[in-house]
Amino acid sequence: MEKKLSLPLTKEDALDLRIGDYCFLTGEMYVARDAAHKRLFELIEKGEALPIEIEGETVYYMGPSPAREGRPIGSAGPTTAGRMDKYTPTLLDMGLRAMIGKGKRTPEVYEAMKKNGAVYFAAIGGAGALLSKCIKRSDIVCYEDLGAEAIRRLYVEDFPVIVVADSQGGVLYKDIE
Amino acid sequence: MREIDVSVVTEAISEMCISVNHELSEDMRGALTRAKEMETSQTGRQVLDQLNENLKIAGEEMIPICQDTGMAVVFLEVGQEVHFTGGYIEDAVNEGVRKGYTEGYLRKSVVSDPIERKNTGDNTPAVIHYNIVSGDEVRITLAPKGFGSENMSRVFMLKPAQGIEGVKDAILTAVKDAGPNACPPMVVGVGVGGTFEKAAVLAKQALAEPVGSSTDKPQWAADLEKEMLDKVNGLGIGPAGLGGSVTAISVNVKSYATHIAGLPVAVNICCHVNRHITKII
Ligand code: SF4
């Protein structure tokens, strides 16, 4: 099923989505990958405030190539989500509603998604030029020193994704024996 | 003796870094177009359409095909009649990478130390494999490698008794584990024989071979390529791992002599953004 959705996703939207749904997202999302997750997690462990809102938000696991003059961003496809799994259940418990990446997650992440009514989308890996065209604005929010790994805020229009894990425990990726 | 100023190497590498990240080789482009015709799943066809569209946008608008513009792997085959002048060749190669990645708006993905992990800011150093060959030419192959797929690569130290069946199992194991992480459809580079590290280098070199060509190899290797491409595609992982009949575009095998007691097998997985370019100076 094809759906057009606005970001931030509502709780109801997240609960309604099912694996295989092909969605076009419009609105704002955060970008964070390995190094940024590590820093956020260190703050959480110390009980300190985070530089970004987590509740109800969407995070895109991505590290773009630099933007040419006059463009908001360079190539901008998803990175492997599994590397963030160590941190993800905590963020889901804090209210993170949607994630965009590629590849399988751990059972702990799927469990935490069920518990919190969250959704995991895949964007097409290696389609960074195409996805870049859907990104209309990109601002660095913090951790600029991390270069391509800084936390960003994006505004996207009709950003194509597919639901690969839903809030009911459904997972689209097959286990291959 | 032929003198070559190392600045020529720097310039060549810089240009190659930029072009290889915006345009795939003709064999890869052709294979991705054909993949669309071979794919049976609806989602798979949709993904392949996106990938072909992505290649078009990348070339026309100069946006890298993938944001992971890789760690630069350089194979430098230097004719023994060549004398480099004007500086140290390794510095010249790294200068080319620095220049290409900076001027070409490519992502800097290299950290100076695997534990401390500080980004070097210019994508250096490259991983350089030198080979002394006959003649007076320098053959440079640049193959930037993304790590979504590199992380899924494996070396297996098989026993000789495991033979060709063991090699087949090794390939299937690596591809299954890679699944959606390696951005399928993949290209699977396989190195058989040599030592632990030789097998890995062969597998990496196999990725730079033109897809679908089986020239200059033993018959068993050519047969293995065909059989394993069918088997891998039979796994059903499909484009982007969302299910389908095209999991790999090509399986490329390279082999070398080995020890009486061993059968090393390396499987270097590459995604559909299998970038390689060669230039002869
Ligand atoms: S595995 Fe390949 S296509 Fe996928 S993100 Fe990495 S470099 Fe890009």
**Closest ligand 1 atom to the C-alpha of A77?**
5
pLDDT tens digits, residue range B15-70?
Answer: 999 999 999 999 999 999 999 999 999 999 999 999 999 999 999 999 999 999 99
Task: Report which protein residue has its CA nearest ligand 1's atom 7.
Answer: B146
Q: Where are the domains of chain B?
A: 2-20+66-142, 147-274
Contact B249, B243 (CB under 8 A): no
Specify the pLDDT at position A176. Answer: 65
Output the pTM of the full model. 0.94
Q: Quick check: CB of B182 below 6 Å from ligand 1?
A: yes
**For residue A2, pLDDT beyond 90:** no
Judged on CB neighbours under 10 Å (0-12, 13-18, 19+), B70 is buried
Nearest to A64 among B67, B176, B271 (CB): B67
Nearest to B50 among A64, A76, A127 (CB): A127
Specify the pLDDT at position B54. Answer: 97
- ipTM greater than 0.90, yes or no? yes
Specify the pLDDT at position B211. Answer: 87
Contact B24, B275 (CB under 8 A): yes
**Closest ligand 1 atom to the C-alpha of A128?**
8
User: Which stretch of DSSP H or E encloses residue A145?
Assistant: none
Nearest to A65 among B64, B121, B151 (CB): B64
Interface probe, candidates B46, B68, B117, B186, chain A, greatest A C-beta count within 10 A: B68
pLDDT tens digits, residue range A113-137?
Answer: 999 999 999 999 999 999 999 999 9
Per-residue exposure over B128-159, b if at least 16 CB sit within 10 Å of its own CB, e if not? eeeeeeeeeebbbbbbbbbebbbebbbbbebe
* Neighbouring residues of B60: CB distance < 8 A, sequence distance ≥ 6: none
Q: Quick check: CB of B178 below 6 Å from ligand 1?
A: no
**Chain A: residue nearest B43 by CA?**
A20
Residue A62 CA to residue A105 CA, distance in Å, equals 16
Domain A2-175 fold: fumarase (3.20.130)
Chain B residues close to A121, C-beta within 8 Å: none
Contact A11, A117 (CB under 8 A): yes
Contact B138, B12 (CB under 8 A): no
